[in-house]
Structures are given as structure tokens and as C-alpha cells.
């Protein structure tokens, strides 16, 4: 798909710049809780093949391996992948069970055979790309029947200041480190809110999310929603119909 290469480059730069403070987000209880809720929705069992789409600094990939999954993590940001690689190379179990690929998500998805992954996770990602319907179509194709697709996206008019307020306890645990990091994360979060107001990013309502998922084959009856991340994010799980 043809996307304005200027916008694509500036978004890639945005994520590269955000990589370092973003990698410390897992210290926040609010983010950690979202991650655990995502794993519960995904129903991870030992040995399953799991795709972590837009894996960022590898927070989910590491947690998935701790729960017994074999993981492929894909992200186009060189800095995010470098941080993830650095983390996993320090632990044999992570190194043996996670493959990281630096690539555009849609380009990667097109290389995967039908019905391949047991679980696909797209955490805080789909709102940030200009072609979510194409990505969802590919996700459905490569997900095994009975498999789970779990995604999280900011709700319309999300205000990340609530997350900042709910993270104050974490910040006070180690103020010298976390006050500067949290301020940087807060500035990026505000930029994300602005990107959604001027149409670069799109925050889906529950109805839009359902339409997106059912239009490519998921049954409405097999879609679960949860409001989380200081009530600013919808966590969604869709199960692919059995053959």
C-alpha cells in the first residue's frame, strides 16, 4: 500500500525517539496490569506460537515467554528492536524463544502462511497506522482457527494524564529516575493525543472496533471488551471461528 513517505518517516522517527523512555513503562503498575490482562485474554499455554505485532522494546514478548510461549516480535523501529534485542540477549530462555524482526508489520504479515499462529497480540498499535483494515485482514488469515487475537487501543478522546496520575505511586518509589522519565513519557503521550485530534492517529470506538473485526470474519459473539489503563484504553479479544 502507498503511504506518504514523509509521514511514514516522521512517524518512524517519533517511535525511535520514544523508544528509550517507553522501555521503562513496564515499571508502571498501570502498564503492567494492562500487560497481564492482555495475557489473560490471550489464554497463553506452554508451547504455543505467538506473534507480538509492533513489539516495541519487547515487554510483552518477555512476559509471553515467561508463560511458556514461543514468540516472534516485529517492529519497524530500529531503536525499539535494539532495546528488545539487548534485553533478550541477557537471558538464555528469552534468547531461545523470541525471534525479533525489524520490518513494517504489513510487509511481514504478507510473508506468513495461512493459519500459522495460535495467538496474535497487537498492543497499543492499530490506532497508529494508516491501514488498520489491511493489517486486520492479514491477522485473520494467519491466525489458527480457535486462536486468539488480542489488541489494545486508546479510546476516543483518551486523556493520558489519568495514567500519569495513577502512576504517581510508582514515580515516588524512585523519584530521581522516574520523575524525568515520566515527564518525557507524558510529553510523548500528549503528542499522541494531538496526532489523534489532527487525524494522523485514529482511536477506535467500541462500535468501530467491532465493525473492523466482524468485517473480516470474526464473530461478534466471540469478541470481548475491557476498559483499562486508567480507563483510557479498550482491551479487545477476538477468537477465530473453528473450521
**Contacting residues toward ligand SAM, per CB under 6 A:** 15, 54-56, 59-60, 75-77, 80, 104-105, 123-125, 128-129
Q: Which C-beta is closer to ligand SAM: that of 36 or that of 172?
A: 36
Closest approach of ligand SAM to the CB of residue 130, in Å: 9
Long-range contacts for 80-85 (Cβ within 8 Å, ≥24 apart)? 80/15, 80/16, 80/19, 80/22, 80/23, 80/55, 80/56, 81/55, 82/19, 83/19, 83/20, 83/23, 83/57, 83/58, 84/55, 84/56, 84/57, 84/58, 85/58
Whole-angstrom distance between the N-terminal and C-terminal Cα of the chain?
A: 30
Q: Which C-beta is closer to ligand SAM: that of 16 or that of 214?
A: 16
Closest approach of ligand SAM to the CB of residue 113, in Å: 20
Closest approach of ligand SAM to the CB of residue 220, in Å: 25
Q: Which C-beta is closer to ligand SAM: that of 60 or that of 218?
A: 60
Q: How far apart are CA 42 and CA 112, in angstroms?
A: 20
Closest approach of ligand SAM to the CB of residue 32, in Å: 11
Q: How far is CA 96 from CA 15, 48, 72, 162, in A?
A: 27, 14, 11, 38
Closest approach of ligand SAM to the CB of residue 175, in Å: 24
Secondary structure of 112-153 in HEC code, one letter for each residue = CCCCCEEEEEEECCHHHCCCHHHHHHHHHHHEEEEEEEEEEE
Give the CB-nearest residue to ligand SAM. 56
| DSSP-derived pairing of the beta strands 49-53 and 117-123 | parallel
Closest approach of ligand SAM to the CB of residue 4, in Å: 13
Q: Which C-beta is closer to ligand SAM: that of 60 or that of 234?
A: 60
Q: Which C-beta is closer to ligand SAM: that of 54 or that of 143?
A: 54
Q: Which C-beta is closer to ligand SAM: that of 99 or that of 172?
A: 99
Amino acid at each position: 500500500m502507498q503511504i506518504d513517505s514523509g509521514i511514514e518517516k516522521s512517524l518512524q522517527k517519533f517511535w525511535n525517539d520514544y523508544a528509550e523512555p517507553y522501555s521503562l513503562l513496564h515499571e508502571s503498575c498501570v502498564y503492567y496490569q494492562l500487560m497481564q490482562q492482555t495475557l489473560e485474554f490471550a489464554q497463553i499455554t506452554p508451547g504455543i506460537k505467538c506473534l507480538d505485532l509492533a513489539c516495541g522494546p519487547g515487554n510483552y514478548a518477555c512476559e509471553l515467554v515467561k508463560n511458556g510461549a514461543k514468540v516472534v516480535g516485529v517492529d519497524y523501529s530500529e531503536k525499539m528492536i535494539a532495546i528488545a534485542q539487548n534485553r533478550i540477549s541477557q537471558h538464555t530462555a528469552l534468547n531461545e524463544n523470541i525471534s525479533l524482526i525489524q520490518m513494517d508489520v504489513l510487509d511481514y504479515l504478507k510473508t506468513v502462511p495461512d493459519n500459522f499462529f495460535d495467538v496474535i497480540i497487537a498492543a497499543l498499535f492499530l490506532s497508529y497506522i494508516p491501514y488498520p483494515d489491511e493489517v486486520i485482514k492479514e491477522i485473520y488469515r494467519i491466525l489458527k482457527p480457535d486462536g486468539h487475537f488480542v489488541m489494545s487501543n486508546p479510546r476516543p478522546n483518551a486523556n493520558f494524564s489519568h495514567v500519569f496520575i495513577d502512576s504517581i505511586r510508582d514515580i515516588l518509589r524512585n523519584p530521581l529516575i522516574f520523575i524525568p522519565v515520566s515527564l518525557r513519557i507524558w510529553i510523548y503521550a500528549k503528542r499522541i493525543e494531538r496526532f489523534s485530534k489532527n487525524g494522523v492517529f485514529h482511536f477506535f470506538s467500541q462500535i468501530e472496533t467491532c465493525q473492523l473485526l466482524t468485517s473480516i470474519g470474526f464473530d461478534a459473539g466471540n469478541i470481548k471488551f475491557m476498559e483499562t489503563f486508567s480507563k483510557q484504553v479498550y482491551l479487545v479479544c477476538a477468537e477465530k471461528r473453528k473450521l
